[in-house]
Structure 1
Amino acid sequence: MKTKINKIFIALLLIGNACDQPASQNDQATSAEEASKFSHSPLVSHIYTADPSAHIFEGKIYIYPSHDIETSAASDDMGGHFDMKDYHVFSMERPSGEVIDHGPVLKLEDIPWASRQLWAPDAAHKNGKYYLYFPAKDKEDIFRIGVAVADSPAGPFKAQPAPIKGSYSMDPAVFQDDDGSYYLYFGGIWGGQLQWFEDGKLVQGRKGPTDGIPASDQPALMPKVAKLSGDMLELAEKPIDALIVDEQGNPILSGDNQRRFFEGAWVHKYNGKYYLSYSTGDTHNIAYGISDSPYGPFVHKGNVLLPVQGWTNHHSIVEFEEKWYLFYHDTELSGETHLRNIKMTELRYNDDGTIITINPMK
């Protein structure tokens, strides 16, 4: 009995001491949480991650992001400070579950044709093999798109000896249609070099971020789309524009930077319709359009995601157990443009099929 009374006395004493502490100490954790301006928490905090491409493989959520690192590379309008050198793969059993880091699955030094900058990748699965599509600059410092192959969604991946023939620019995204066809979407302006190409050919003399950008009253540059070959290693056809248009069917103009394509194309299918979502770059939206075909045209409908903290905005959309999720990144952990962290949140639709816009900030 004495021991029990002593324990009660000590407990009451500790409670009293806690109540005597200044409110600023007692409520520190609560105040910090309440003061957070971010709507969602980072998924990964032990390394910097960005550009998350999410897929459901083997009943799990797999995420294929880029891996941001500290760098001595100078910051410029061509993205030189995004100097990533490898890829990690992450998996989750469920949306609220533990995030597993499967480690580096492909390194720059293991890609024979690449010189630098392993930017945003994507992945696909076919016939028991897994394919990692990635952009990197070749030995002439021009972005090309490569592919690496693995036996597991967690890698490791082995790169093909050369980039995909006819590929250029960056931000590859692979969409698998219901009939088993696979489509590769790609492209990005400014640092992504899309503006340096015409009809798939590099135009000599174009070096700067705006060299080749159409005048503001001309149609904007569009993401490219091409069907993939049966072995998933090449393009089965010449890439064409995945045209983004307004409600009247007119192409979005180059000067319409609230709606025009900048980078980060992603395609998913919902209720029989094809949704092309993408970053508007300097206005920092994730916008989207809807089409009856994977080739487009895609009629602009609004924004999936409003601007995040940080300059870049890059995302993916995936369905898991009859719910849809948006994956994206911001700079909550570092406050630095090139040191980002990935996040996720549920995505919902209106009855008419339009997407309910998500605000990443409270």
Structure 2
Amino acid sequence: MAYRYVAAVLACGTASLALAQDRAPDGRRYLSQPLVTSIYTADPSAHVFNGKIYIYPSHDVPTETPDDDLGNQYAMHDYRVLKMDKIGAPVTVGPVALDVRQVPWASQQMWAPDAAYKNGTYYLYFPARDKTKDKNGLGKFMVGVATSKSPMGPFKAEPKPIAGAFSMDPAVFTDSDGKSYLYFGGIWGGQLQRWKNGTFDPNGSDTDLGQDTKPALTGKVARLNPDMKSLAETPHDAVILDEAGKPVLGGDHDKRFFEASWMFKRGGHYYYTYSTGDTHFLNYATGTSPYGPFTYRGHIMNPVQGWTTHHSIIETGGKWWLFYADTQLSGKNHLRNVKLTELTFNADGTIKTIDPLVK
């Protein structure tokens, strides 16, 4: 039960944010319990480095800013890495790995990050608003990179964002041939809709969700150079096709891309996974190339408690695992807690849909 879980955490000397309730407000039971309760965490990017599991989440912080479609209530300003020896083992919360004040080009809102490793160096990829101002008085979201010799940090940021990358939600996938790819993008607060022509329009629309009969905006993908700090090419559209082989339309909110790209490979197939945003599904589409196109296959997870759904998927210990977040501890959309659950596949490679809240 949730109360016993938190009691065990407290017995280990970790302060708890709140007692986790067994059931959601609608009476359903939470499938999983928070990994940590000493801080609020979300958007977990999990990796196995040197046989250990490291999770790179955003670090939610309290704010009096009301919820809005631009995401101003998500006021995160630093990163802290979570570590565990294996699934089910105690979780260590690391010290501050990178703060926005240590990033020369950034002004605020360090949202969902990711990480990668190559040749003795760990790379932290992160979005943040730069120091320009748009019609709302906000900077544009760019993607930066920082490096460390330790997976827990501290990380040192490059002086400028990655040229050619933009918006938010960076995710790095390294293929079996050693080539690495950067996926990124998110609409509404992530501003992807303002980059339609390859350059930022500060006066552009704050949403494209009115383009119901046109192909939906897509996430972006570009191969990284060997230095892991720069793009080797102009970004491509990560196109998602429907069952008829046509691009998913903007009006298909249950299928379309919104944010939170994550790529993994299984059985020779590339699984492009993402969030639908306003309909709160985690989806997946498959293809034969890391560039796509990807054919929509279904839902990975039904809606969690809370507005945003951002995830990662790894294989470890002979099983596949989904990392996600909800608002069990706080009941507030901007104060979330990271969780995990096992991911299972059918014989044909399709994924069994997970219900984060069960009767």
TM-score by length of 1: 0.89
Q: What amino acid sits opposite 1:195 in the alignment?
A: Q
Shift of 1:214: 6.0
CA distance in 1, matches of 2:74, 2:355: 25
Contact 1:146 1:162 in 2 (8 A): yes
Q: What amino acid sits opposite 1:294 in the alignment?
A: P
CA distance in 2, matches of 1:221, 1:246: 14
Selected match of 1:209 from 201, 206, 212: 206
1:154 alignment partner in structure 2 = 152
CA distance in 2, matches of 1:213, 1:360: 26
Structure 2 residue 111 is matched with structure 1 residue 119: yes
Closer, same or farther: CA 338–181 of 1 in aligned 2, 3 Å: same
Closer, same or farther: CA 204–121 of 1 in aligned 2, 3 Å: closer
1:11 alignment partner in structure 2 = none
Structure 2 residue 101 is matched with structure 1 residue 103: no
Larger proportion of helix: 1
Contact 1:213 1:221 in 2 (8 A): no
Query: Runs of at least 4 residues of structure 1 off by over 3 A?
Result: 31-36
CA distance in 1, matches of 2:341, 2:66: 33
2:241 alignment partner in structure 1 = 245
1:280 alignment partner in structure 2 = 276
Closer, same or farther: CA 115–218 of 1 in aligned 2, 3 Å: same
CA distance in 1, matches of 2:356, 2:67: 26
Structure 2 residue 70 is matched with structure 1 residue 78: yes
> Structure 2 unaligned runs (5+)?
1-18, 133-138
How big is each residue's C-alpha offset from its partner over 1:5-42, in whole Å with a ceiling of 9 and x where there is no partner? xxxxxxxxxxxxxxxxxxxxxxxx9x958976201110
Closer, same or farther: CA 215–325 of 1 in aligned 2, 3 Å: same
Shift of 1:341: 0.2
In the TM superposition, 1:211-230 aligns within 5 A as: 212-213=208-209, 215-230=211-226
2:12 alignment partner in structure 1 = none
How big is each residue's C-alpha offset from its partner over 1:316-355, in whole Å with a ceiling of 9 and x where there is no partner? 0000022100000000000000000000011010000000
Structure 2 residue 162 is matched with structure 1 residue 164: yes
How big is each residue's C-alpha offset from its partner over 1:86-111, in whole Å with a ceiling of 9 and x where there is no partner? 00001111101000111110001100
1:37 alignment partner in structure 2 = 29
Q: What is the aligned-residue RMSD (CA, Å)?
A: 1.6
> Structure 1 unaligned runs (5+)?
1-28
CA distance in 2, matches of 1:74, 1:356: 36
Closer, same or farther: CA 336–216 of 1 in aligned 2, 3 Å: same
Shift of 1:196: 0.4
Selected match of 1:261 from 257, 262, 267: 257
Shift of 1:248: 1.6
Contact 2:22 2:30 in 1 (8 A): no
Contact 2:286 2:297 in 1 (8 A): yes
Shift of 1:75: 2.5
- SS of corresponding position for 1:202: coil
Q: What amino acid sits opposite 2:170 in the alignment?
A: P
Contact 1:214 1:220 in 2 (8 A): no
Contact 1:195 1:213 in 2 (8 A): no
In the TM superposition, 1:8-47 aligns within 5 A as: 37-47=29-39
Shift of 1:71: 1.3
CA distance in 1, matches of 2:277, 2:349: 25
Structure 2 residue 350 is matched with structure 1 residue 358: no
Contact 1:168 1:200 in 2 (8 A): no
2:197 alignment partner in structure 1 = 199
| Greater shift in the superposed pair: 250-259 or 240-249 | 240-249
Structure 2 residue 131 is matched with structure 1 residue 133: no
